[in-house]
Amino acid sequence: MQTLVDSPVAPSFNEQFDSHSAWRREFALRLKLLSDWMRDHELLDASVEERLQRLESQMRSDKVMVAFVAEFSRGKSELINAIFFAAYGRRIMPASAGRTTMCPTELGWDADVPPCLRLLPIETRLQPQALMEWRAAPEKWTRVDLDVNDAAQLAQAFEKVAEVRKVTKDEARALGFWHDETPDDNPMADAQGMIEVPKWRHALINIAHPLLKQGLVILDTPGLNAIGAEPELTVSLIPQAHAVVFILAADTGVTKSDLSIWREHLISESADHSSRLVVLNKIDTMWDALSTQQQINDNVERQRATTAEILALPKSQVIPVSAQKGLVAKVTGDQALLQASQLPILEQALSDGMMGQRQAILRGAMSSGIIDLRAETTRVINIRRRDLAEQMVELRGLRGKNATVIRHMRSRIESEQAEFDASGSRIHAVRSIHLKLLREVFSALGTSTLKAELRQLNDALRQPGIKLGVRKAYTDTFSRLREILSHAKGLNSEIQTMLTTSFRQLNAEYGFSLQTPREPELARYERDLDAVERSHTQYLGIGNLLRLAQPDFADRLVRALATRLRVVYESALGEVELWNKSAASQLDAQLRERRKTFARRIEAIDRIQDAANTLDERIGEINYQDHHLDILDKKLMELTAHLVDMPETSAVAALSVDASAQEQVVAPSAAPVQTTPPVQDNHTRGEAQIMTRAA
């Protein structure tokens, strides 16, 4: 078979994901190294420490979700087997003819939970709790323990996601699988009038697969009927996936039900479609012995072009594949068959598109955080450097002076200290106003405000009958939510102005070097609100009016909305809290440093009064301390530059640290006059220990 790219050696999705995970681990390792080094040198205040912890946590816990969506019998589970589980040498996900995955299934890894399959009974749809709430109630799930080393046991356990049960029409109606108003969409009833429905509402598979351990999450979804009946799947899980793979059958192309899934659940006018890949599966059905190779290729390309036109996608995002032949080829080691299956092309598209995009987003977030952190730490170093310069001017001015002048100098320092202590009331006033405005921000973005808005929406949706005004109710709700964020932005701007003015006055009157931290960027949370609104309003089409007429279904939809909005608002609050800590920690750090400086100045004067030769020794100490600050500043730039500019694909190479070069950076070229031991730079020793543990 002719392939779509000329590079047979391109890395597979698995290899690209391994590289991405190695990059994440190394980045987190370097963050910890930076944190330890800063702690050793007393540069780690509360704000910087929290910023480091957040960056490290974000990097270590970052998840990449790939959602596989298709109508029944498109080979979706077989494709998952071929891409992710071929190393087991057999099928792991059920992939027999007919319906296989009957409930949404998430595959991931949580180290705090033993390997298991957890299944949520379908009857939970009769209760109002959102899926996220059921996740917090493990006792309500049916659990099957898994042996990750036994492929046969895994495959047997996973067959449970295909289980069904038979219910009456009334039960099917209550569960959301039967609608009297749309008989053509209803499932077939058997001779006894019973309806076949999924036995389980949701499945969670927790196994220590190498890719899952590194943060991959696979979402396997059932067909159209099940997707539409589960609002949280449509409005939360699929929209939040970093990539969506939509599977069609190559021999049939885009059917009516395929198009319904695409238009109603996967695409919207204003959303970014670059993370959508369409797979024309089962191209092996077009391998006709009576046709030439060129004729087969032409048929596949025509189907590709037609599919791209119908779905309004670039042709490059439609990829023909044979998942079954690709799985067989991987298991048997048949490279020719693997290339003919074109599975490597899909893997490359996933890795180049999704992994590249994900790493770019992470790199941007990390770089921004590291640059802010470096600025805060540099400020602390500069404060120390300025205080040393002031001491040096004082001490050099004492050369050749008598005891009376020295006593006068001590008196002047004490006077300055008293004046500085009086600044405490001003600082307290600044903090009081700051906290008052901050409480208003917390109230605006708090849980109670969000609950009140959603309660109003829920009341509108619970009105009896078909709700033709449901879209307006959602639009009004999101308008109010945006107003809340806008109000919070206004309060933040007011706080920023107040801090800027207050910091400028404190700098002028008391010699501080306070700098207003960057205002929280709440605009991106407005964009998150836009994304949430798109996924929900897309669900409010005419096809779901009948479902929305059911109060219980409307409740579930609002609960799913609450789950996503809570994440948005809590993230915004977290950013505001970090901003607040950054401002407060600056004040605390400069107060602390200034008190230490006064103590050192008075101590130096006392020592000089006691012994004449102490003056030169003290000047030598300050020279050394100033030199040491230069070393710290240089090392800070070096460590943070490693993080900001770290290559994406050289994770292993980047771990090879030239210890001797680092020693040269740490060691001063000429030892200054000193009377106290130099502050030891623990960077090289700490890095060596961490690298040894990592290896």
Which helix H or strand E contains 672, and what residues bound it?
Answer: none
The reported pLDDT for the residue numbered 332 is 93
Which residue in 588, 643, 685 sits closest to 52, CA to CA? 643
The reported pLDDT for the residue numbered 98 is 54
- Please report, in angstroms and rounded to a whole number, the separation of the first and last CA atoms in the chain: 43
Give dist(CA 33, CA 692) in Å, integer: 13
Q: Which residues contact 374 (CB under 8 A, 6 or more apart)?
A: 636, 637, 640
The reported pLDDT for the residue numbered 654 is 34
The reported pLDDT for the residue numbered 324 is 93
Parallel/antiparallel/unpaired status of strands 243-249 and 195-198:
unpaired
Chain centroid offset of residue 159 CA:
31
Produce one character per residue of 461-498: b if its CB has 16 or more CB atoms within 10 Å, e if not. Answer: beeeeebeebeebbeebbeebeebbeebbebbeebbee
The reported pLDDT for the residue numbered 669 is 30
The identity of residue 312, as a single letter, is A
Q: The tokens of 280 are what?
A: 């024309």
Which residue stretches of 538-613 are H helix? Answer: 545-548, 551-610
Residue with tokens 């205040």: 45
Which helix H or strand E contains 255, and what residues bound it?
Answer: none
The angle formed by the CA atoms of residues 22, 24 and 26, to the nearest 5 degrees, is 70
Q: The tokens of 620 are what?
A: 């030598």
CATH number of 13-359: 3.40.50.300
Give dist(CA 460, CA 433) in Å, integer: 39
The angle formed by the CA atoms of residues 508, 514 and 518, to the nearest 5 degrees, is 135
Mean pLDDT by 10 residues, the chain (695 residues): 42 72 82 86 79 80 84 87 88 72 86 92 85 86 91 90 89 80 76 88 89 84 66 75 89 86 73 79 87 88 92 91 94 93 88 70 79 82 81 72 71 77 72 80 85 83 63 85 89 86 81 79 85 76 61 74 85 84 77 78 71 69 86 87 66 34 32 32 35 32
The reported pLDDT for the residue numbered 650 is 41
Chain centroid offset of residue 516 CA:
27
CB 548 within 8 A of CB 223: no
The reported pLDDT for the residue numbered 463 is 66
CB 109 within 8 A of CB 207: yes
Q: The tokens of 207 are what?
A: 């196994």
The angle formed by the CA atoms of residues 171, 69 and 199, to the nearest 5 degrees, is 25
CB 624 within 8 A of CB 674: yes
Strand ranges, E, within 400-546: none
The domain segmentation of the chain, as residue ranges, is: 13-359, 397-610
